[in-house]
Amino acid sequence: MINRIKDLIRLRKQNDAVKIMLLFLLAGITSAFSILYYAWEIYYFVNTPAEYVLSSNQIISGKQVQTLLQMKDVVRISRQLDTSLTIKYRGKEAVINAVLLSQDYIEKMYDTTLPSGAKRIFLDPVSFENLQQEWSEDGVEGVGIDSRQAEHNEGMDVRYAMMEMLPDQTGETAEDILTDQPARLIVTKPENQEGEGLVCLVGSESQLLKGANGLRIQFRSHDLDGLQVDRLEKLGYQIENEERVMEQEFAMKMKLLHIRYGLLILGGCLVAVFAIRKWGVLIGCEG
């Protein structure tokens, strides 16, 4: 084998056909590695959970939830209620958009167990950066934001206010009240979170049952044929993170296209190499 390699190197310097064959061989090897790379990315994508944010034109009923739970590969689901929070920290205030989710969904999404006591408000790094900018937008330094605590499990102590809808004394109508209570900010991002800018906290069962017209649903894995989205749309839901879903779909199509053309290039290179050998260009090497 070593002698054959030496002969090949010697012939490369003497024979242009050998140089051409080596170029085809190098191109084929490069294509093979490219195919393996994109194939691995597609395999990884397909085998990671897929999360969809859904909206409906009515309050989500228990029957709707049960129908979704019966879909293939659904692993968890939660009603979702949009709200706004006023976060207060050392005399500074900032208003941010957030969503209320069930405790079970949040615990599984962040792989944690929520303790009793102060409410936990989960933010991804993008949302926390925006929050800090809001706190400091008046140009006053020395706010003393201890971001290290927020970026670890213990969280950063704050107070927050949220508008809630509660029935009046007759139980027939609802009114807005402003609640102000302690909370802890925790900055983290679930591994498979779809998109950026998520701020969430646990909503009570009554809040979600009475006011949620949205859902978060997670499937065990992604699909490449779009059946998950088709089924959800046929049930009458709008995909709120449709842009993100379309970006992922386009990225997968491009990877499949790379693989397809990579296979064509690899096949062409192999044919060229064998053709050169067949016509006896490397007779001296084989001797």
Alpha-carbon span 142 to 269, nearest angstrom: 64
Is residue 217 over pLDDT 80?
yes
Longest dimension (CA), the chain: 101
pLDDT at site 98: 92
The mean of the pLDDT values for the chain is 81
Contact 132, 156 (CB under 8 A): no
Average pLDDT over residues 200-227: 90
In this prediction the pTM is 0.78
DSSP-derived 3-state class of residue 59: coil
Distance CA(260)–CA(254), nearest Å, equals 10
Structure tokens at 267: 């096949």
pLDDT tens string 19-35: 777 788 888 899 999 99
- Percent of the chain having pLDDT more than 70? 76
Question: pLDDT tens for residues 67-82?
Answer: 999 999 999 999 999 9
Q: Which two tokens stand for residue 245?
A: 């879903």
- Is the pLDDT assigned to residue 184 strictly greater than 70? yes
Tokens encoding 9: 């190197």
CA atoms within 13 Å, Cβ hemisphere of 246 = 5
* Distances in whole angstroms, Cα of residue 52 to Cα of each of 31, 61, 74, 218: 35, 18, 11, 6
pLDDT level of residue 166 (50, 70, 90 thresholds): very low
* Whether residue 280 has pLDDT greater than 60: no
Highest-scoring range by mean pLDDT, 2-11, 63-72, 177-186: 63-72
